[in-house]
Structure 1
Amino acid sequence: MPVYNKLVRDLIPQVIENSGSRFSTRILDKSEHLTEVKNKFYEEMKEFEATDNRKDALEELADILELIHAALPIFEATYEELEQIRIAKKEKRGGFNDGVYLIEVEDA
């Protein structure tokens, strides 16, 4: 039996059960959950980096967004709060839409 030891989507046990396979799971405590969300985020970022087409890129971005939604309750935060912070940072420093690539800065 393959051993995964990783965070999976909440309905994966049902998918496995419906396929007739056996499995074992456990519910993570808050600190373990955060650690595994971070690990999964890194995994999904690597998968996003490897994409070369629109469909796969959007699938990986959706996974990343789902992980953001999973992390928020761990910090007792809402998506609206996160969005307010994002907007405030964008208003102060801009976004990443223009593709500005900083090469170097000479000290004044």
Structure 2
Amino acid sequence: MQKEYNKLVRDRIPEMIEANGATCQVTAMDEAEYQQTLHTKLVEEALEVAAAKQRGELIKELADLQEVVSALQALYQIDPAEVQAVQEQRRNERGAFERRLRLISVQIPDESYTN
């Protein structure tokens, strides 16, 4: 039986598959394909984080999400310290999520409405 995946996998997955007695076909992606696939993987992992029900599962999914974020940072040559600095700046400007606020609505006065 052959099962099709056609998706980005971690580097050691093929050898783990073969260690279990199966064979697999893999190919290396060019930069454009890798970039697009990482973006798709980011969404996939974010959905898995959102679906996690237990703390241990959440930790595992957050680790997987962080792995994709790290790969994107490497691909775009972004220093993690740069991201952290912008995160801190945005936190200082806009706040964090500590107060658990839900914005329900905004009433905009007619005179301040711009089109």
* TM-score (normalizing by structure 1): 0.92
Structure 1 residues without counterparts, runs of 5 or longer: none
Structure 1 segment 34-73 matched on structure 2, within 5 A: 34-73=35-74
Moved over 4 A (4+): none
**What do residues 52-98 of structure 1 show as CA deviations (whole Å, max 9, x unaligned)?**
11111111111111110010122111111111111111111111222
Distance 2:93 2:31 in 1: 33
Residue 21 of structure 1 and its aligned partner are, at CA, apart by 1.1
- Matched with 1:14 is 15
Distance 1:70 1:97 in 2: 28
Distance 2:84 2:30 in 1: 26
Counterpart AA for 2:14: P
Distance 1:91 1:46 in 2: 28
SS at 2:62's partner residue?
helix
Counterpart AA for 2:13: I
- Matched with 1:32 is 33
Across the aligned residues of Structure 1 and Structure 2, the Cα RMSD in angstroms comes to: 1.1
Task: Say which one has the larger Rg.
Answer: 2
Aligned length, in residue pairs: 108
Structure 2 residues without counterparts, runs of 5 or longer: 110-115
